[in-house]
């Protein structure tokens, strides 16, 4: 699961914010929609986060919201000055979960499941919800994937490994044309 620690509510300049928000963060009394609007972007989400199904948001040491991730959108990074280039930032789009959903019931309102760290973006394993722990990536790397047969990019790795078993790309094509001639494909 993806876990994000949010700050206390603070104003930001909507002109500089990638989502045009007047403020970010959390304060007591916010509705779920307000929490989502203020905190669903812009986060430096790494490769591991790209395959997570759920995101938890915490304030202090308490989980305040759970979201089922539908997509991650790369936010256009504003370049304030040539020196101030930012990492890629993502906005989480998804469904706000409520009471009755097992992820909400397990986490929201309870103690944050990850240790304290400087980086607000963290990941942790919950075998109950992480795609049934996922299935092994078909490339054979031993990692688990929850979306499709491959971890992103590993399908290319698997293909190139097969080609290398035969030799060069040209040798692979020659071999392939013998074992599976084009005329037999139709």
Specify the residue, 1 or 151, whose C-beta has the smaller distance to Zn ion: 151
Binding to Zn ion, residues 15-74 (CB under 5 A): none
- What secondary structure letter does DSSP report for 90? E
Site size toward Zn ion, by CB under 5 A: 5
Angle at 143 between CA 48 and CA 101, to 5 degrees: 60
User: Counting contacts by CB under 5 A, is residue 139 touching Zn ion?
Assistant: yes
Distance (Å, whole) CA 34 – CA 22: 12
The DSSP element (H or E) to which 124 belongs, if any, is: none
Residue 162 CB, nearest distance to Zn ion (Å)?
14
- Tally of CA atoms within 13 A in the half-sphere of 62 that contains its CB: 8
Sort strands 54-59 and 2-6 into parallel, antiparallel or unpaired: parallel
* Residue 154 binds Zn ion, judged by CB under 5 A: yes
Question: Exactly one of 2, 24, 45, 151 binds Zn ion (CB under 5 A); which one?
Answer: 151
Query: Least distance in Å: CB of 141 to Zn ion?
Result: 3
Min dist. Cβ of residue 144 to Zn ion (A) = 9
Which CB sits closer to Zn ion, 161 or 171? 161
Considering the complex, what minimum distance in angstroms separates the CB of residue 140 from Zn ion? 7
Q: Is there binding between residue 141 and Zn ion (CB under 5 A)?
A: yes
Q: Which is nearer to Zn ion, 19 or 141 (CB)?
A: 141
Pairing of strands 23-24, 10-11: antiparallel
137 in contact with Zn ion (CB under 5 A): yes
Measure Cα distances from 5 to 29, 59, 62, 69 in Å.
18, 6, 9, 16
Binding residues for Zn ion, rule: CB under 5 A, are: 137, 139, 141, 151, 154
């Amino acid at each position: 699961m993806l876990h994000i620690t949010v700050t206390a509510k603070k104003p930001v300049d909507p002109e500089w914010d990638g989502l045009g928000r007047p403020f970010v963060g959390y304060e007591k009394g916010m509705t779920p929609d307000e929490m989502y609007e203020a905190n669903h972007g812009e986060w430096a989400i790494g490769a591991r986060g790209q395959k997570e199904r759920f995101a938890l948001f915490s304030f202090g040491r308490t989980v305040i919201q759970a979201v089922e991730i539908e997509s991650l959108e790369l936010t256009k990074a504003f370049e304030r000055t040539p020196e101030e280039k930012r990492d890629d930032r993502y906005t989480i789009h998804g469904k706000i979960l409520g009471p009755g959903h097992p992820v909400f019931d397990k986490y929201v309102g309870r103690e944050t499941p990850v240790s304290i760290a400087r980086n607000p973006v963290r990941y942790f394993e919950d075998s109950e919800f992480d795609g049934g722990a996922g299935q092994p990536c078909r490339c054979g790397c031993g990692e688990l994937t929850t979306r499709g047969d491959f971890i992103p990019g590993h399908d290319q790795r698997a293909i190139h490994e097969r080609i290398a078993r035969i030799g060069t790309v040209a040798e692979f094509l020659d071999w392939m044309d013998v074992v599976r001639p084009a005329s037999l494909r139709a």
